[in-house]
Amino acid sequence: MTETTPSIAVRRDDHLLTITIDRPEVRNAFDSATSHALDRALDILDDDPTLFVGILTGAAATFSSGADLSALARGDRPETPGRGGFGIFRRPPIKPLIAAVEGFAVGGGLELCLACDLIVAGSDAVFGLPEVRHNLVASGGGLFRLPKRLPYHLAMEMALTGAHYTSRQLSSFGLITHITEPGQAMAGATELATRLLSNGPTALAATKEIIFRSMGWSEAEAWDKQIPIAARAHDTNDRREGLRAFAEKRRPLWTGT
């Protein structure tokens, strides 16, 4: 299945949904139309029980240069009522989403990566939060998500200098999940997605949600708050299938229900 808007292309391969930002003329920068298109694509991922994992990537060997500043100057804001900025920042998908990064992931492009759960990047990919250079503030989650993924002083340096960093530099601090040869990030992300797809899909979604939400919980709160989320995976056909497959020494056949 392939669905394409002027700015976002969506392709389905069995249980995997690949979403491609397709505005190469502006290095895949986001305007309002692109944000709404990504919002709709993530709804497809969340709402279809037969889709288990997503990959977010960019066309023409670059991920995203962030907000379309020309559109922003015209009053065109890259956000949606449901998911917020870029159609993802405030409410990422409930299912695992992998960023496949080539070229530049700067400004909102880096914040897109931070809204994903795993990041696979080419070795020559470049990341940064250059907003301060334009007297802008990185308000797409970068200023509070980045210090949770990197040492405080490095996150502060990135945000205050607006400097660019390579994927190899950031990988040493754990921000990048896997580094590939240039041009191979999508292949690496697909390989990683295949590993995820061997696992139970309702458990994948519940596991992601608990980890994501627990960043705002105390440990005392977490014991109780994880229970209803985990129950969504346990009270499913897939849990019963997983136990049967284990007993019968075969691969499980997941349905997402």
- The helix/strand/coil state of 147 is helix
At residue 52, the pLDDT reads 98
Whether residues 98 and 65 fall in one domain:
yes
At residue 4, the pLDDT reads 62
Whether residues 209 and 177 fall in one domain:
no
- Residue listed under structure tokens 């392939």: 2
Q: Is the pLDDT of residue 182 over 60?
A: yes
Between CA 257 and CA 238 the distance in angstroms is: 6
At residue 2, the pLDDT reads 60
Residue 67 is assigned to a structural domain of this protein: yes
At residue 3, the pLDDT reads 63
DSSP characters over 161-225: H--EEEHHHHHTTT--SEEESTT-HHHHHHHHHHHHHTS-HHHHHHHHHHHHHHTTS-HHHHHHH
Place 19 in a pLDDT band, splitting at 50, 70 and 90: very high
Which residues carry out catalysis?
111, 131
* pLDDT, tens digit (0-9, with 9 covering 90-100), for 112-165: 999 999 999 999 999 999 999 989 999 999 999 999 999 999 999 999 999 999
User: Among residues of the chain, what percentage have pLDDT more than 90?
Assistant: 96
Q: Is the pLDDT of residue 110 over 80?
A: yes
Residue 10 is assigned to a structural domain of this protein: yes
Residue 165: domain span? 2-197
Whether residues 136 and 212 fall in one domain:
no
User: With contact defined as beta carbons under 8 Å apart, do 63 and 55 qualify?
Assistant: no
> Per-residue pLDDT averaged across 86-92, rounded?
98
Q: How many CB atoms lie within 10 A of CB 75?
A: 7
Whether residues 242 and 140 fall in one domain:
no
Whether residues 63 and 37 fall in one domain:
yes
> Per-residue pLDDT averaged across 170-192, rounded?
97
At residue 6, the pLDDT reads 83
> Per-residue pLDDT averaged across 243-249, rounded?
94
What's the DSSP call for residue 30?
A: B
Q: Is the pLDDT of residue 15 over 70?
A: yes
At residue 5, the pLDDT reads 76
